[in-house]
Structure 1
């Protein structure tokens, strides 16, 4: 039992799949037409779409050594923020603006073909020079057309332009500008209401039309900064891939190459800035020392000339040497102290642009050097972020907090080193003071010479020291090279980014098949009517004994009037089946016809079933028991003045009310006038007595009963018939109605209940090859001449 239950869903799915496949086969011309239409639409779409390409280059970011001798990758510098510092720099607006300064993208030249509009780069039949000091209409089409080599015309074709004052960084929107009238000469600047530019022919094309688009710097910068993609080639790799999607690959390559050049120039500029600040600081110190050195040199010369004293004694020479060494050391310590104080002043004022790295002036303090380099890097990172963000944005605020923390750390270090420098200066000064006491033993003239010569030697030593450091800084600046480098120049990748023809055609092919198939599938799923005979048979718990086709011109007496039609043959098949469904020993046969609702064809089936029995020589009568909505009289062209309503109300004997049809062996007992109480009349015991008398008089009794889904009395008539036939109508009966005969069998205890599907017709695409008469007849008999031609 469990196995049977498990098999039910599979059988149902197989049936639905088979039904869907049959419908697909039936509509294959429409599927083919849909595919052709979809592929044609895809072709036109591809012809009208301008293809986009991807250009990319590879850029290497070298690991650099910091002041502490540790290595750090600038790709991982801002890893805690989830962004890469170098990637932010590459995608920033200042870098994009600097790259655009190296290429000329301010004028775009386009040509409109029949299908597509293509940009002409790098060559065009005309060249345009724009006067950006004049306001310009930008970001809209300006059509330049000419018919000879001397003059041209200008037209504005877009509805909206941006009026740009580039020198003032100001813009406004202009709608529907009026095109200038007349013609303008080539090779001369023309001033219009919205533009000022010069157009020159670059080739020998005597006539033509080119579409210009002037692009201001701000819109270009925004476009390329947003379009640029930067990502590591591999996770935690130092090589990044810089890519750009563009409709003009040549422009994309030019921009990426310019961008990489800007990145290298920017890195070199940052390195040179450190050396430049060192040179500038030393130059200021040299400027002060040069005056002192010149002054002491003149004093020394004058003193020697006046006193005729040129050489020192051995004792004076020894004192001079020792004191000069101490004074030179003292001068260097004072220079360091001055640097510490100046640096502290920069930190207090938060002026980080002119900071000098300590190692540049000979201060070998690894901690201070590292802190200063980190501060310079943070300040550079902040500048890049401010190009895209505001001071209040979280990334900028985070960098500011790091700068403040580093500022405090540097100031604490400066306090310590300045204190140490002060102690060293005081110690040196005290040692010099003690040695000056030895001068009293020297002659007075020699004492004066030693003092002046000491001062000169001190200034000369400091000057020489600073000159050496300046030379070192200048050499460093001159020898600076970018640590990063270009791995691959920009190149166009293979294939289109969009549209992709293979993908578009595959999608069109899929849609061309899916849409009609989906329509059929949706129609099947949403349909609530009984259509497929096999589906009806699968859901019914009573036998489906056959299907009845649609008669010609909906003729009610199709059996009598078209005895060779396929519909007539279907009723003959039903008649043949009755011999197997009803015991053969019975002398007469009583069949009951009913349905769920009115209009399903129970009366049609009743009278035609009676007709096939009458044609076979059986004495047949049709009894109209549908007392509420009688139809038999209309089908035979009779008057429904008297009938079963009179018999059941015992107003007349049924024998006197039987009417003969115009056909042999076929009588009619009509329903008669509509009574006020049809249910009570049928449910009385007298009904069974009358029916027994009718059965005794006729070989076949056909009961045309009311729809069992609308009235209740039919349920009690089932026991009076040898077989009851429940009529469904294709594309009319609701699927929910299938539960009614099932319920009659399971809960009502009705026996000998069978089903027939009526009005099965060709244009639904269902019913072929099914049933006992209609399907086989149409498939073979009609074409072979057994049956008459039946029109749809």
Structure 2
């Protein structure tokens, strides 16, 4: 039945060993050094290959400018709806696709001017000695580097590496694409500066700038880019309205070429000023366009009536009308002028009503003043409708929100409804006025009928001529008025600080940040790797691990054997490794004395699994006893996997198995060695039943016979964690040494050892830590010469580690 103490939880629970982890980090300093060298090298290569990033900006103000020539009669001022609305609208326009298309097209920024730098191609816009004058109606080779090398000041050579049979072309007049066939060769051709290049894939003319400098023999590169892709890049202009002053806007850009950014920022503001001023002049422009079309018709009518009047007066010899007729003529003339004004107003209202019902674009409406309409409600609503229509069309390419467009449509619909009501009311009044004027004209014409027939005819022709002349003069006056308003309009947008390269402006790359990142990554990678090893590795690392896991005493620490031979004490008796075995010998003698043992003494050496140095420790512990002139024997009881024969280079097949089966005597199986006072008994042939042989009476007879002959009997037993043979040999041992190998023996094996000890399966057990190496790498501890540094000089022979290849070959040979 199992004992409850088999399941006991030991006092020491696993926890994070910060001190051990810190010492492990120090031990892996080479990893950190290599990692930092790699990361800093990468950071340096990135920094030297990155182009410098600059930031440029310009500042503009928005102030609503009133026209000094604005009068209530003209009402030609375009209303933007106040400064706050303008700021939001301008910010939207500056980032709109339609606006940036105009700027990119004007500057031809879809053309790249490049030079070969140390590591990559550099944007040399503004620094190249030439510019390209392209034919926008013809195709240009797109997304391909075109080499331009100046052979002299007036001659250059084009080089284009064609790799396929067809290339893509772009026509910038309509931004369309097509393909053309080419030969997959290096195209090379020479041209004169200023000469028109007409090729199936290239249509340009290179012109030299005003101050080109020295450029003979230099090579440059031209690249034509996709127009829409170029526009998309420049739509990223940052627009900041600031917090304190809402009427100021700061436009900024980041890039590698300061000249290109300066030109673009200034050009985008100038384009904005032009668009805003054109919008502001829209009323005047519409009015002038309407008047010009009317004047053409009026001029023809005036010329016709003038010729008719001259012809009538010449044929009839009538040059004057009697005073009474003259007064009547003047009276009718005034009535005709008034009637024309009313008729024009009614015609304008009819036209306006038809336009509102049939069109959605109201930006081309002429001013009401062109028809003499001064109704403030009509004038204000027409102005507002034009403003909303223009603003909506400007936002069509920049805003994707249907809600914003619906808001504009709702506002325009409301204005349209008000205008429709204004038209109905105004027309009713005008029709009434027109009926009164017709009555007055009828009365005046009845008086004219009393005059002679020829005078009546003359009065009729002169009446028509004077009316046309009056209307023509009035339209000329209104046209001049509209021209004055348009010429005197001021833009609401003003430059405060135009973009300018005054030096500086460098904002990147952040080389210091790259180095800081390299330092962080260079430390983090090995640190994480060590952390993973620290937590995954469940093996014994130092003496503290042993003392935390068990109460079994630690008898000694054995350093790492750097030589190929296992006879470390015999071959180098003054080494620190030999001293560690002598320390174990002293501790063993203390244990024997404590047990009050006399005569021959036995020592069983075992371990958890194979490879922990059990045989190595058996040989060297036996050697230190033998060198102290004590008759010592090593008994190879690992019947399943014997190794003693190889270590002592013994060829005899006889061993313990032969004695146990009564085949040979003790003298026959005993082998002397080159070490004085040390004999070795091998295990012999591998038996089919090793456990049964160890349990036989012959084993007790063997031990009793050895005690009569030797002072110390060292039992080299199989691993207790793998087979039960060692447990059967405990009864013959005065002391048991349990070998634990650094960075090899698992901590679970110590737990199993505790269980066996509590069960009584093992007794008089002590632990030896074998293979101890660098204490900084594996934690604190002592190594009998490995931890004393310079103080051990002169006391021990220095252990010279084998070279890498020699150790590698010896390890293979051992295997």
Give the alignment's TM-score, normalised by structure 1.
Answer: 0.79
Match of 2:54 in 1: 53
CA distance in 2, matches of 1:443, 1:632: 155
Shift of 1:210: 1.9
Question: How far off is 1:258 after superposition?
Answer: 1.3
- With CA pairs under 8 Å and 6+ residues apart, which has the higher RCO, 1 or 2? 2
- Which stretch of the first structure deviates more once superposed, 563-572 or 355-364? 355-364
2:73 corresponds to: none
Counterpart of 1:153 (choices 150, 157, 171) is 157
Q: CA deviation at 1:149?
A: 4.8
Query: What does residue 257 of structure 2 align with?
Result: 248
Aligned pairs, how many? 763
User: C-alpha separation between the residues in 2 aligned to 1:441 and 1:333?
Assistant: 22
SS of 2:603's equivalent?
Answer: strand
Secondary structure of the 2:498 match is strand
The residue that corresponds to 2:556 in the other structure is 546
User: 1:516–1:752: structure 2 CA closer, same or farther, 3 Å change rule?
Assistant: same
> d(CA) in 2 for partners of 1:231 and 1:683?
94
Q: Is the 1:548–1:757 Cα contact (8 Å) retained in structure 2? A: yes
Q: Alpha carbons of 1:751 and 1:420: their partners in 2 closer, same or farther (altered >3 Å)?
A: farther
Matches of 1:189 and 1:436, distance apart in 2: 71
Question: Aligned to 2:384, what secondary structure does the other structure show?
Answer: helix
Q: What secondary structure does 1:629 align onto?
A: coil
Choose the corresponding residue for 1:610, options 588, 609, 622.
622
Deviation at 1:482, TM superposition (A): 0.8
Q: Distance in 2 between matches of 1:187 and 1:414?
A: 59
Which residue of structure 1 lines up, in the alignment, with residue 604 of structure 2? 592
Residue 237 (str. 1) matches residue 246 (str. 2): yes
Q: Is the 8 A contact 2:79 2:387 kept in 1?
A: no
Residue matched to 2:419: 414
Distance in 1 of aligned mates of 2:605 and 2:568: 18
SS of 1:553's partner is: coil
Superposed CA deviations along residues 514-545 of structure 1, whole A, max 9, x for unmatched, are 55666655555565655555556555664443
| 1:356 CA displacement | 3.3
Give the CA deviation at 1:483. 0.7
Contact 1:109 1:124 in 2 (8 A): yes
SS in 1 for 2:715: strand
Pair 1:309-2:327 in alignment = no
Deviation at 1:718, TM superposition (A): 4.5
* TM-superposed deviation, 1:366: 4.4
Task: Name the SS for the 1:598 alignment partner.
Answer: coil
CA distance in 1, matches of 2:183, 2:61: 49
Partner of 2:177: 171
Residues in 2 aligned to 1:255 and 1:293: alpha-carbon distance in whole angstroms: 52
The separation in 2 between residues aligned to 1:69 and 1:173, in whole angstroms, is: 46
Counterpart in the other structure of 2:141:
137
Q: Among residues 73, 83, 95, which one is paired with 2:84 in the alignment? A: 73
Q: 2:482 matched to 1:496?
A: no
State the alpha-carbon separation in 2 of the partners of residues 265 and 455 from structure 1.
44
Bigger mean CA offset, 718-727 vs 359-368 = 359-368
> Do residues 92 (structure 1) and 96 (structure 2) align?
yes
Write the deviation string for residues 481-526 of structure 1: whole angstroms up to 9, x where unpaired. 1112223211458453443333334344545555566665555556
Among 417, 425, 445, the alignment partner of 2:430 is 425
1:17-32 to 2 correspondences below 5 Å: 17-24=22-29, 27=30
Alignment-derived partner of residue 72 in structure 2: none
Shift in Å at residue 398 of structure 1? 5.0
Determine if the alignment matches structure 1 residue 711 to structure 2 residue 691. Answer: no
Report if the CA contact (8 A) 2:56-2:258 is conserved: yes
Q: 1:733 to 1:336 in 2, by over 3 A?
A: farther
In structure 2, do the counterparts of structure 1 residues 684 and 380 end up closer, same or farther at CA, with 3 Å as the change threshold? Answer: farther
Paired residues of 2:197 and 2:204 also in contact (CA < 8 A):
yes
Which residue in the other structure is 2:812 paired with?
none
Q: Deviation digits for residues 662-708 of structure 1, max 9, x if unmatched?
A: 54443444434333232344456886686577557654332222112
Aligned equivalents of 2:640, 2:98: Cα separation in 1: 91
- Whether the 8 Å CA contact 2:78–2:281 is kept in 1: the answer is no
Residues 734-783 of structure 1: CA distance to partner in whole angstroms, max 9, x if unpaired?
55545433544567775543332323457x974798434252477543x3
**In structure 2, the residue corresponding to 1:554 is in which secondary structure?**
coil
2:808 matched to 1:757? no
> Match of 1:15?
20
- 1:281-310 CA distances to partner (integer Å, 9 max, x unpaired)? 3555666777888999999x9999455524
- Checking the alignment, whether the CA contact within 8 Å between 1:572 and 1:773 is kept in structure 2 is no
Equivalents in 2 of 1:351, 1:516: separation in Å? Answer: 68
What does residue 80 of structure 1 align with?
none
Aligned to 1:571: 581
Do the aligned partners of residues 13 and 370 (structure 1) sit closer, same or farther apart at CA in structure 2, a change above 3 Å counting?
A: farther
Does the Cα contact within 8 Å between 1:145 and 1:152 map onto a contact in 2? Answer: yes
**Quick one: structure 1 residues 105 and 689, their matched pair in 2 at CA, closer, same or farther if it must change by over 3 Å?**
same
Q: Secondary structure at the match of 1:56?
A: strand
RMSD over aligned Cα atoms: 4.8
Which residue in the other structure is 1:373 paired with?
384
Alignment of 1:684-763 (within 5 A): 691=703, 698-715=710-727, 717-718=729-730, 721-734=733-746, 737-745=749-757, 750-761=762-773
Q: Aligned pair in 2 of structure 1 residues 486, 559: CA closer, same or farther (>3 Å)?
A: same
Residues 147 and 206 in structure 1, CA contact (< 8 A), matched pair in contact too: no
Matched, 1:269 2:278: yes
> Within 2, Cα distance between the matches of 1:215 and 1:605?
79
For residues 451 and 556 of structure 1, do their structure 2 counterparts lie closer, same or farther at Cα, with a shift above 3 Å needed? same
CA distance in 2, matches of 1:748, 1:90: 89
2:567 corresponds in structure 1 to 557
1:100 offset after TM fit, Å? 4.0
Superposed displacement of residue 19, structure 1: 2.0
Q: CA deviation at 1:376?
A: 3.8
Query: Greater shift after overlay, 189-198 or 446-455?
Result: 446-455
Q: After superposition, what is the alpha-carbon deviation per residue over 1:188-211, rounded to whole angstroms, capped at 9, x for unaligned?
A: 445455334445666574841222
Q: Distance in 1 between matches of 2:156 and 2:448?
A: 98
Between 1:603-612 and 1:222-231, the stretch displaced more is 222-231
Aligned position for 1:195: 202
| Superposition deviation, residue 644 in structure 1 | 4.1
Q: Which range moves more in the overlay, 582-591 or 678-687?
A: 678-687
Q: 1:501 to 1:135 in 2, by over 3 A?
A: same
Assess, with a 3 A threshold, how the Cα gap between structure 1 residues 625 and 210 changes in structure 2: closer, same or farther: same
Q: 1:540 to 1:186 in 2, by over 3 A?
A: farther
Measured in 1, the distance between the counterparts of 2:132 and 2:448 equals 86
Q: Distance in 1 between matches of 2:290 and 2:204?
A: 47
Q: Which residue pairs with 1:345 in the alignment?
A: 354
State the Cα deviation string for residues 391-425 of structure 1 (Å, max 9, x = none).
Answer: xxx54x55654455445434432332232123323
Distance 1:402 1:341, change over 3 A: farther
Q: Residue 602 of structure 1: CA displacement?
A: 0.5
Other-structure match for 2:805: none
Over 3 Å counting, the alpha-carbon distance change for 1:417 and 1:129 in structure 2 is closer
- Give 1:262 deviation, angstroms: 0.7
Structure 1 unaligned segments of length 5 or more: list them. 77-83
Residue in 2 that maps onto 1:81: none
Q: Find 1:122's aligned residue among 106, 113, 126.
A: 126
* Counterpart secondary structure, 1:547: strand
Task: Pick one of 482, 487, 495 that aligns with 1:473.
Answer: 482
Summarize the Cα distance change of 1:434–1:130 in structure 2 as closer, same or farther, 3 Å threshold: closer
Segment drifting more, 283-292 vs 201-210: 283-292
**Does the 8 A contact of 1:121 with 1:250 survive in 2?**
yes
CA distance in 2, matches of 1:376, 1:180: 55
Assess if the C-alpha contact under 8 Å between 1:166 and 1:217 holds in 2. Answer: no
User: Is the partner of 1:276 in helix, strand or coil?
Assistant: helix
Q: Does the C-alpha gap of structure 1 residues 220 and 786 become closer, same or farther in structure 2, counting only changes over 3 Å? A: closer
Q: Quote the residue 2:224 is aligned against.
A: 215
